[in-house]
Amino acid sequence: MFVLGLDPGLSRCGYCVLDVAARRPRAVALGVFRTAPDLPVPERLAELLADFRGLLEEFPPASVAVERVLFQTNVRTAMGVGQASGVLMAESAQRGIPVREYSPNEVKAAVAGDGAADKEQVQEMVRRLLDLDVAPRPADAADAAAIALTHVAVLPLGRSA
């Protein structure tokens, strides 16, 4: 059984697929989808969607966890994050996959024990919780893993998102 965590973004979208069938979650796919900033937004969204569909086909998740889009000072970045998030959530819903959103503070509290934890603390806790040799890089991948771990901690297996 797989749980998919997503840190949405238009330039970089972090993803982490956790195999939660064993006693301890194990990352089976961890990385970042990238789109070229010089492409028009519709093409970038289409590229992101194609990459996402490929991941869903390879690792069909029981549920998807997404970082909730919060206000950012850079409106252009916030728009891209919102657009990417919408495409990912819509595709998941279209496939009947339950989706749940988590705020950055919820994720930090669940993974690092402190809602104000910094990126390095979150990355180190992800490394430890997933028994990785090194902390995931870039930060988008580590954030996606933290979101997936939060989802597993919050919702016992067998319950929908």
Tell me the per-residue pLDDT of 54-102, one tens digit each, with 9 for 90 and over.
999 999 999 999 998 776 666 667 888 999 999 999 999 999 999 999 9
From the list 67, 91, 106, 131, the catalytic residue is: 67
Please work out, in degrees rounded to the nearest 5, the angle formed at the alpha carbon of residue 100 by the alpha carbons of 96 and 104. 150
Average pLDDT over residues 11-17: 97
140 is catalytic: yes
Which residue, among 60, 66, 51, 63, has the nearest Cα to 3 in the 3D structure? 63
Show the domains of the chain with their CATH numbers.
Answer: 2-154 (3.30.420.10)
From the list 57, 106, 140, 143, the catalytic residue is: 140
106 is catalytic: no
Which residue, among 146, 143, 148, has the nearest Cα to 5 in the 3D structure? 148
Give the per-residue pLDDT at 157: 52
Give the per-residue pLDDT at 151: 95
131 is catalytic: no
Q: Give pTM, 2 decimals.
A: 0.91
Model confidence over 25-40: pLDDT tens digits? 999 999 999 999 999 9
In whole angstroms, give the CA distance from residue 39 to residue 105: 32
Contacts of 65 (CB under 8 A, 6+ apart): 3, 4, 5, 6, 99, 100, 101, 102, 147, 148, 150, 151, 161
